[in-house]
Amino acid sequence: MVMVMIPGLGFLYSGLARRKSALSMIWACMASLSVVTFQWYFWGYSLAFSPTATNGFIGNLRNFGLMKTLADPSPGSPLVPNLLYAFYQMQFCGVTAAIIMGAVAERGRLLPAMVFIFIWATIVYCPLACWTWNVNGWAAKYGVLDYAGGGPVEIGSGLSALAYSMVLGRRQERMMLNFRPHNVSLILLGTVFLWFGWLGFNGGSAFGANLRAAIACWNTNLTAAFAAISWVVLDWRLARKWSMVGWCSGTISGLVAATPASGFIPPWASVILGIVTGIVCNYATKVKYWIRIDDSMDVFAEHGVAGIVGLIFNALFADDAIVGLDGVNTGSGSGGWLIHNYKQLYIQIAFIVAASAYTFVVSAIIAYAINAIPGLKLRASEEAELLGMDDDQLGEFAYDYVEVRRDYLAWTPQKHDQLEDGHQIPAAARYGIGEHSEMMLDGHPPIGIDSRGCSEGDSGIQEIKIAPAPRQVAEQHPVDEGSELPRSDEKAQ
């Protein structure tokens, strides 16, 4: 279920981008999964979850290449095999990397982005995961409450995307006039994929079919639904129209906020969390204008900020009784203000500050370093940006708009005052591909093309008879000056 979130992110970003860069967004999300899979197998899992690490910051290479993962119980639960846990956590890292790919939209080269993801997963994500979920991690020992990844996944993706966008630079201003997402249907499809996958993301973090997993799924749905309502109401306040894109954005921010909180807070608190998240994240989308960073897919607002809100809610509403519903943890002391554990707020804030600062600074350093390597410049050329990333980076397209444009230029007149017969277009009013225009006006195919529409050496299957053009008809049957051409109804008679 979790892995379906990655194509969901691809569809979401593809729909939010312009048509000329739609396929590159899907490619970036899927390719990031390939990079993370290798990294996680190679040393990523060991650096994040090796049980013999003692420094509290990052693991060692005890589980290098998934060694010694068959016999050990997993860090998450003694009921889950370590090898299965490693695969499950690999999907978390893959989703986080795919979220970051929103930062490359419409101007970023793909090869440097993949290099960034490999290095980022090693020295940013693995330490964050070690802090939070490794039994020896400093945040875990400190008592931080983070159920399914508010720190490693949401802050890790939101602040990394912000840093990458800062290094990459803004899109060309003149190309952003009247910008609109090119396909709202794809945005909705991606959101549905994400919602479905998030139930496995949050529900599965209870590591069993237990009541805590059921509570997590309920909380995830409630938070997403109420965040969507809050978001679209705020958008309606300004435009007096309901927004499908707004509903999708609100839903995603709610799913993100539920990530750290869904396994700790009661359902009634999830309703409050959803309303607050929708409002806060809606306003957070304006931050990119204040700081002049082109976070084109609003990754910081919808992931970084929403993850922070969810972590804060754990300090206020976490209930240790819910933690004990998984049948493994006792839940003793794992609560917030709801059980009079007032110091939990300071613990959560300290973790948020540490994770945010580390993620942003290190991600920016990685991006600047890669950008300085010859051949790995992060940003595409101005010409490539104008042409579109699909053509420049892939040579393939989500839609064959090149053929549509070619046909449009070849057969469409510049003026609306055509003759009554739509195909009889004056030569002065035509533009586009010269050979196509000649074939229409002169009544014979271009040089090298026979009357059947085939090039020399081809054998056409069906012969195409081309009617004489208006000029030829006029030469064969001249009309006296002052006389009128017959109308179409007179011709019929």
At 489 the pLDDT is: 42
Is 59 within a domain? yes
Is 490 within a domain? no
pLDDT-derived band at 407 (thresholds 50, 70, 90) equals low
- Residue 42 has a CB neighbour count (10 Å cut-off) of 16
- Amino acid occupying residue 74: S
The answer to whether residues 470 and 329 belong to one domain is no
Q: How many domains does the chain have?
A: 2
- Residue 250 has a CB neighbour count (10 Å cut-off) of 31
The answer to whether residues 426 and 369 belong to one domain is no
The answer to whether residues 390 and 465 belong to one domain is no
Is 486 within a domain? no
The answer to whether residues 383 and 426 belong to one domain is no
Is 263 within a domain? yes
Mean of the per-residue pLDDT values of the chain: 84
The answer to whether residues 160 and 243 belong to one domain is yes
Mean pLDDT along residues 247-274: 96
The answer to whether residues 305 and 426 belong to one domain is no
DSSP letters of 147-202? SS-IIIIIIHHHHHHHHHHHHH-PPPGGG-TT---S-HHHHHHHHHHHHHHHHHHH
- pLDDT above 80 (res 411): no
**CA 297 – CA 160 distance, rounded (Å):** 13
- pLDDT above 70 (res 409): no
Is 197 within a domain? yes
- Amino acid occupying residue 7: P
pLDDT-derived band at 177 (thresholds 50, 70, 90) equals low
The answer to whether residues 11 and 52 belong to one domain is yes
Q: Does residue 451 contact residue 464 with C-beta atoms inside 8 Å?
A: yes
Q: Is 149 left (phi over 0), alpha (psi -120 to 50) or beta?
A: left
Q: What is the CATH number of the domain that holds 85?
A: 1.10.3430.10
Those residues with Cβ within 8 angstroms of residue 96's Cβ, 6 or more apart along the chain or in another chain: 125, 149, 152, 153, 156, 157
The answer to whether residues 134 and 105 belong to one domain is yes
pLDDT per residue as tens digits for the range 1-33: 899 999 999 999 999 999 989 999 999 999 999
pTM of the entire predicted model? 0.81
The answer to whether residues 229 and 310 belong to one domain is yes
Is 485 within a domain? no
End-to-end CA distance of the chain: 70
pLDDT per residue as tens digits for the range 216-231: 999 999 999 999 999 9
**CA 124 – CA 130 distance, rounded (Å):** 10
Higher pLDDT among residues 416 and 360, named by residue: 360
Reference 302, options 249, 262, 258, 260; nearest CA is 249
In Å, what is the CA distance from 33 to each residue of 92, 230, 434?
10, 32, 46
Q: What is the span of the domain harbouring residue 384? A: 2-394
The answer to whether residues 284 and 194 belong to one domain is yes
pLDDT per residue as tens digits for the range 121-145: 999 999 999 999 998 999 999 999 9
Q: Does residue 95 contact residue 6 with C-beta atoms inside 8 Å?
A: yes
Is 408 within a domain? no
The answer to whether residues 341 and 421 belong to one domain is no
Is 489 within a domain? no
- pLDDT above 90 (res 117): yes
Single residue among 337, 362, 394 that ends a domain in this structure: 394
Single residue among 394, 425, 443 that ends a domain in this structure: 394
Q: Does residue 161 contact residue 97 with C-beta atoms inside 8 Å?
A: no
Single residue among 339, 364, 394 that ends a domain in this structure: 394
The answer to whether residues 319 and 452 belong to one domain is no
